[in-house]
Structure 1
Amino acid sequence: MAVVIPTKGSEFSMKLRNSDLSWDVFLEKVYNLKGKEFIATDQPVETITNILFSSGTTGDPKAIPWTNITPLKAAADAWCHMDVRKGDVVCWPTNLGWMMGPWLVYASLLNGASMALYIGSPLGSGFAKFVQDAKVTMLGVIPSIVRSWKSANSTSGYDWSSIRCFGSSGEASNVDEYLWLMGRALYKPIIEYCGGTEIGGGFVCGSVLQAQALSAFSTPAMCCSLYILDDSGHPIPENVPGIGELALGSLMFGASNTLLNADHHGVYFKGMPVLNGKVLRRHGDVFERTARKYYHAHGRADDTMNLGGIKVSSVEIERICNGVDSSILETAAIGVPPSGGGPELLTIAVVFKDSSVTKQDLQQLRMSFNSALQKKLNPLFRVSQVVPLSSLPRTASNKVMRRVLRQQLTETNQSSKI
């Protein structure tokens, strides 16, 4: 059954299926149920409780079912790593379309905590006052929000001393911005939290039981194991620092074992190395383990990028950008980390049919890309830079090597800052 919302007014231009409900009829049924008591029933652990769509680990959008186990995974992560407990007030600006929305419901309520829900944008001083007045004890953020608070000084004059710890997820964070954030709450710790919709929570995070390093993860999440693969695809020994594509242990509490519109084994396990008789699980991020045994995330290993906490396929962006102007031959969309660290910045590499392009042309094209992406894909996406190229680097089979482009543009940005 689907609940269908008309695009305009309350009239439909198409006939609904017999099993479907219009939004108005759905609301009427809800109103008629007031005062009725529902009896809970036992259900198998694999019963689907929620379905979320995500570009996830491997680019193409996937329908990922959450089961009866997933709420326990979310609640366990919050309890174990962020010390969420009975009587706490948990606030995390998010929505139910992103995994952190249902995660917040489970992580707070199953641990006996309250959710602090703010209606409106979290970027202004109104939200800062709300955090103060609600006496929030655990505040979740994404780095983009922190950057906005810092630049606008939105938190000035508000008392955040009730905060016991912060949580951070969705993007790579910046050390200077996060030191500033800690200073808003008497230098309480920030627990970095990285996972995925198909994980039901995190696979690597910080912990209030360990010394933390800003913008770094200190431990695999409870019930998870991490492996960093070398260039030949073999796991680097756990006590050895290194950088490479991240793989996860095959057995992980709360993680998905099926997809509604794709082959789960093909997406997450096919072609992965075997360790101790178990096939490792693909995740797709590039991770670094330092000599002090902290972890740093270095973006995607494949053609997916993270923009504002949303994983999106490069192909989805390029499809829109290619049609913006007739002078464009082809494009490549890459998420490039800023030189000082922090959230990825969307860069579009463009090959033009005619090479005579001015800086003014590039600026106008950047504005056109922004307009098209925000209208057709996501209103929060923003192109930071347009780079003209004579051609795109390709493999022998003609696939665009976006990872090579990302590395080149990252090195160019860093050298320009020196």
Structure 2
Amino acid sequence: MEKYGSELLGPLYRDPITSYNIFHKFCVQNPEVYWSIVLKDLSISFQEAPKCILDRTDDSKYSGSWLPGSVLNIAECCLLPTAHPRKKDDNPAIVWRDEGFDDSDVNVTTLKELREQVMLVANALDAMFSKGDAIAIDMPMTVNAVIVYLAIVLSGLVVVSIPDSFAAKEIATRLRVSNAKGIFTQDFIPRGGRKFALYSRVAEAVPDKAIVLPGIGRSVDIQLREQDITWENFLSNVKNHSRSKYYSPFYQPIDSVINILFSSGTTGEPKAIPWTQLSPIRSAADGWAHMDVQAGDVMCWPTSLGWVMGPSILFSCLLSGATLALYHGSPLGRGFGKFVQDAGVTILGTIPTLVKTWKSTQCMKGLDWTKIKGFATTGEASNVDDDLWLSSQAYYKPIIECCGGTELASAYIEGSLLQPQAFGAFSTASMTTGFVIFDENGKPYADEQPCTGEVGLFPLYMGATYRLLNADHEKVYFKGMPLFKGMRPRRHGDIITRTVGGFFVVQGRADDTMNLGGIKTSSIEIERVCDRADESILETAAVSVAPINGGPEQLVIYVVPKSGYNSEAENLRIKFTKAIQSNLNPLFKVSFVKIVPEFPRTASNKLLRRVLRDQIKHELSVRSRI
């Protein structure tokens, strides 16, 4: 690192825009340099130091053997004060507020308080479970959920992440696949002044012990099964012990599993994706490098520990020395926005659908978001007009786009504060990430050539999975991928466009492309045009379907109108066709428009175009029989 530091970092600081690409390319080829820098800037403390940064000779892992020989506990790294990055015991580790208490002071949990609470729970876990047991968390991302998550990792157990929106059958599937020995949950989820049952769904799915926390107030408000236990009783066994607030972490090799997460599971059994102790380092590094997350920042990103962004933001904050901001309620309304204001949030993460709702309802009007230094967004394709509105809420601060996956523990493509940014677009591969874009015949496009095709990731990827618990990792991510410069790239499934100006736009999944008149195009590309075609439109979804009697695919646009608008399908069809022919291709035309109240989505808010496609196929089939 000393050999390259001044030579590369010096020019980067003097002329960041022109030097960034040079530095990035160097780090793709020499990732050891970059990760040496990251390990010094994050709170990574090893019980046994790694033999090296990367062992390239380990053929058992496509992604390389990273930090071999190292032993640590990544949860301990989150909880200990450090001189760099200036983490002190009295620093706020978490700030939070319950929905409905919007005029109350923001609650603060210091680093010392967080550590003591985590150690208390870790002691209680030791009294109930054995090292290596998988323990599920199915609850909103509250302060207590974060404490439980860290305690499970600190004590040498494995977190099983389950979204709190799931039905009993989906919960049961994930518990079975992970072989979970217990589960933490809540009695109710408070949202918008209402209570939504959670424990009843969990009890239906879980034969083993459940530890139940109160969603409102200090005590559980329902009758539990005989084998279950309240949060209060769970802690009572160790609360009065003299050493209840001290715990000796369970140290493990770097590649030990700490968290089992799952894919959405929209096309069958969800893939069980194991996170090792490398995964949090990758998550935190992306926040540090691309969003400038650092000590003193307050970061808020409404999400859940059941999805990748939950653990990602947790580790990004606590390893960087930043404060994690949590709102215990719905992020859709003004209460959330006031929390962002009162907590002094400096980095606000979003999803495009959330931004669209804020803009449509104008619920954030009059709030002071001037402490925000930047936004981030992920989950689905962004709308340029919505991004412009969001940026304007904080004096036009930048929006960093992120696109990745649970199996990567990160984003493979992002924005960067060291480059010019464009709304709805990405400016760079994430640090040390390399990728190639293939045409429909599997031939690679030249570097920097404007093009559209399927992305293939360079296999040497710090933090990426090298196995799945219930699927063939080789088959899912590598089999059938074309060779590129002697290596087999990792499949990700995204179609991306590299523009003339060097930006990238994700056009959707490879299975969301359509063939219109012999021309391949993406759903997202068409939706971007249609969203701007009429003021009555909240959002659109484009799918194509083959006619019952054969022939070219027909383009169908589903529409969710804004509240208060009564649009006619035929008028919209004419407007959509005109807009698409003017902006995309004069040969394209819209065959049908369907107006619906809402779109089907996964629990992580991804649009299920497959469901819409099946619906229109069924409708056309019925029409043909009449």
Common topology (TM > 0.5): yes
How big is each residue's C-alpha offset from its partner over 1:216-271, in whole Å with a ceiling of 9 and x where there is no partner?
00000012111110121022111211000111011111111110000101100001
Residue 363 of structure 1 deviates from its aligned partner by 11
Q: Match of 1:3?
A: 182
Q: Match of 2:38?
A: none
Q: Match of 2:408?
A: 199
| Secondary structure of the structure 2 residue equivalent to 1:275 | coil
| Secondary structure of the structure 2 residue equivalent to 1:286 | strand
Q: Match of 2:229?
A: 25
Alpha-carbon distance in 2 for matches of 1:182, 1:60? 39
Give runs of aligned pairs for residues 351-362 of structure 1, distance below 5 A: none
Q: Which has the higher helix share?
A: 2
How big is each residue's C-alpha offset from its partner over 1:99-132, in whole Å with a ceiling of 9 and x where there is no partner?
0011010011100000110011111111111111
Residue 33 of structure 1 deviates from its aligned partner by 3.3
* CA RMSD in angstroms, aligned pairs only: 3.6
1:176 to 368, 385, 393: 385
Task: Give structure 2 stretches of 5+ with no counterpart.
Answer: 1-179, 188-197, 212-227, 514-522, 533-538, 550-568, 570-591, 622-626
Residues 92 and 276 of structure 1, relative CA distance in 2, 3 Å threshold: same
Alpha-carbon distance in 2 for matches of 1:63, 1:252? 19
Would you say 1:337 and 2:530 are equivalent positions? Answer: no
TM-score (norm 2): 0.50
Alpha-carbon distance in 2 for matches of 1:78, 1:42? 25
Q: Match of 1:328?
A: none
Contact 2:437-2:454 at 8 Å conserved across structures: yes
| AA at the equivalent of 2:182 | V
Task: Give structure 1 stretches of 5+ with no counterpart.
Answer: 305-333, 354-358, 392-418
Q: Match of 1:149?
A: 358
Alpha-carbon distance in 2 for matches of 1:98, 1:378? 9
Alpha-carbon distance in 1 for matches of 2:444, 2:418? 27
Alpha-carbon distance in 2 for matches of 1:168, 1:295? 15
Would you say 1:166 and 2:375 are equivalent positions? Answer: yes
Alpha-carbon distance in 1 for matches of 2:531, 2:206? 51
Give runs of aligned pairs for residues 118-137 of structure 1, distance below 5 A: 118-137=327-346
1:39 to 245, 248, 273: 248
Give runs of aligned pairs for residues 19-418 of structure 1, distance below 5 A: 20-23=208-211, 24-25=228-229, 27=231, 28-34=233-239, 35-55=244-264, 61-302=270-511, 337-340=527-530, 345=541, 387=616, 390=620
Residue 32 of structure 1 deviates from its aligned partner by 2.4
Residues 352 and 126 of structure 1, relative CA distance in 2, 3 Å threshold: farther
How big is each residue's C-alpha offset from its partner over 1:127-168, in whole Å with a ceiling of 9 and x where there is no partner?
111111001000000010111111111111111000000001
| AA at the equivalent of 2:237 | N
User: Size of the alignment, in residue pairs?
Assistant: 349
| AA at the equivalent of 1:85 | Q
Residue 36 of structure 1 deviates from its aligned partner by 4.0
Residues 38 and 345 of structure 1, relative CA distance in 2, 3 Å threshold: farther
Alpha-carbon distance in 2 for matches of 1:46, 1:62? 19
Contact 1:56-1:198 at 8 Å conserved across structures: no
After the TM superposition, list the runs of 4 or more consecutive aligned residues in structure 1 that deviate by more than 2 angstroms: 4-16, 20-36, 55-60, 334-353, 362-367, 377-391
Residue 277 of structure 1 deviates from its aligned partner by 2.1
Contact 1:56-1:196 at 8 Å conserved across structures: no
Residues 45 and 379 of structure 1, relative CA distance in 2, 3 Å threshold: closer
Contact 2:294-2:320 at 8 Å conserved across structures: yes
How big is each residue's C-alpha offset from its partner over 1:193-232, in whole Å with a ceiling of 9 and x where there is no partner?
1100111010000001111111100000012111110121
| AA at the equivalent of 1:165 | G
Residues 379 and 279 of structure 1, relative CA distance in 2, 3 Å threshold: closer
How big is each residue's C-alpha offset from its partner over 1:299-334, in whole Å with a ceiling of 9 and x where there is no partner?
110269xxxxxxxxxxxxxxxxxxxxxxxxxxxxx8
